[in-house]
A = this chain, B = another copy of it.
């Protein structure tokens, strides 16, 4: 099938760009002598998770238990759930999924650790647990002081839990545009993680795995040599927000745009304005509107759930007519992907594959 025969709006993956991004992260981490455990929250796809493992990833990250269940059911092994799994029902589900794949989880709370231990014991399988440290995000995680050591010891002392290491991740600094600011904040966060590692080591424990980092802070995370593995996720697809940040070597942004929304013009109410069939249900808005590909002077504005309104700056005429198709670059890849059930994988002018987004909507 040709791309221009697709019904719209539809999510496209440029297969060549995806493959190049996969290889670039493999090379960058290999050069830095660091592992990577890419975050599947970006793509929510077992197919891409498999490609990441084939490219050299040691395993994957999942944001929620529901995503980990999907990956485990699709033969992806060595999974880290990067947010706490709380309550009897979910921990029971975790231990069930643990029968299909190695799954570790983070924790930041005594009561939660006790319940993880009790249910692990009931299931007869030891569970790997990381302590989450708040290195600046202000979300989950214990402060980078003695609290981390207290939880690490508690896990280590439990006969049905393994203390696997520490997680320190900051999503909010990944997309800082200024490269020096991003570097400085990465170092600040890593210093906090280093302090927590010191506290844990004082108790005689080893912090074998130090997991964190992301697409934006990758160069600085790798430089420091503190993390043993990088959780980059967005590098597979990129988006307009990531596309707008600066990199240490300005001439070589390490990754390229691989994800697009194909949309159609459905109305042309004025020569300088058309209405597209992609609105809030086709492109996430939490990082602002999507961009028109190569869209100099062409501005997209959301026109409700089902529409986008493309207006030319300066009253110029729109170069498209009703039925024409054009491509948008999402502003936030993770949340845009969550709106779709499948990817159309493209090469040149053709659709060469369809990949299900199995973990879409798995928020539990």
Q: Which of A152-160, A186-194, A222-230, A301-309 contacts B (4 or more CB under 8 A)?
A: A301-309
A354 close to B (CB within 8 Å): no
A138 close to B (CB within 8 Å): yes
| The one of B285, B323, B361 that contacts A86, using a Cβ cutoff of 8 Å | B323
| The one of B108, B112, B141, B364 that contacts A8, using a Cβ cutoff of 8 Å | B364
| The one of B7, B139, B286 that contacts A280, using a Cβ cutoff of 8 Å | B286
Chain B residues positioned under 8 Å from A266 (CB to CB): 83-84, 86, 140
Q: Which of A45-53, A122-130, A333-341 contacts B (4 or more CB under 8 A)?
A: A333-341
Query: Least Cβ distance of A298 to chain B in Å?
Result: 17
A327 close to B (CB within 8 Å): no
A87 close to B (CB within 8 Å): yes
Q: Which residue of B has the minimal Cβ distance to A143?
A: B269
A97 close to B (CB within 8 Å): no
Q: Which residue of B has the minimal Cβ distance to A89?
A: B7
Chain B residues positioned under 8 Å from A84 (CB to CB): 266-267
| In the complex, per-residue mask of A266-294: 1 if CB is within 8 Å of any chain B CB, else 0 | 11110000010110111011100000000
- In the complex, A340 Cα to B360 Cα: how many Å? 10
Chain B residues positioned under 8 Å from A139 (CB to CB): 267, 269, 275, 303-304, 307, 309
A64 close to B (CB within 8 Å): yes
A9 close to B (CB within 8 Å): yes
Q: Which residue of B has the minimal Cβ distance to A142?
A: B269
A10 close to B (CB within 8 Å): yes
A257 close to B (CB within 8 Å): no
A109 close to B (CB within 8 Å): yes
A221 close to B (CB within 8 Å): no
A120 close to B (CB within 8 Å): no
A134 close to B (CB within 8 Å): yes
Q: Are A306 and B7 in contact (CB under 8 A)?
A: no
| The one of B89, B109, B277, B361 that contacts A322, using a Cβ cutoff of 8 Å | B109
Q: Which residue of B has the minimal Cβ distance to A338?
A: B281
A76 close to B (CB within 8 Å): no
A350 close to B (CB within 8 Å): no
Q: Are A268 and B109 in contact (CB under 8 A)?
A: yes
Q: Are B7 and A361 in contact (CB under 8 A)?
A: no
A297 close to B (CB within 8 Å): no
Query: Least Cβ distance of A139 to chain B in Å?
Result: 5
Chain B residues positioned under 8 Å from A304 (CB to CB): 139, 171
Q: Are A364 and B267 in contact (CB under 8 A)?
A: no
Query: Least Cβ distance of A92 to chain B in Å?
Result: 10
| The one of B89, B269, B305 that contacts A134, using a Cβ cutoff of 8 Å | B269
A-B contacts, 12 of them at CB < 8 A, read A83-B266, A86-B322, A87-B264, A109-B267, A109-B322, A139-B275, A140-B275, A141-B267, A143-B269, A281-B363, A305-B334, A341-B361
Please name the 8 residue pairs, one residue from A and one from B, whose CB atoms are nearest each other, closest first: A140-B267, A7-B364, A86-B266, A285-B286, A84-B266, A63-B306, A139-B303, A281-B363
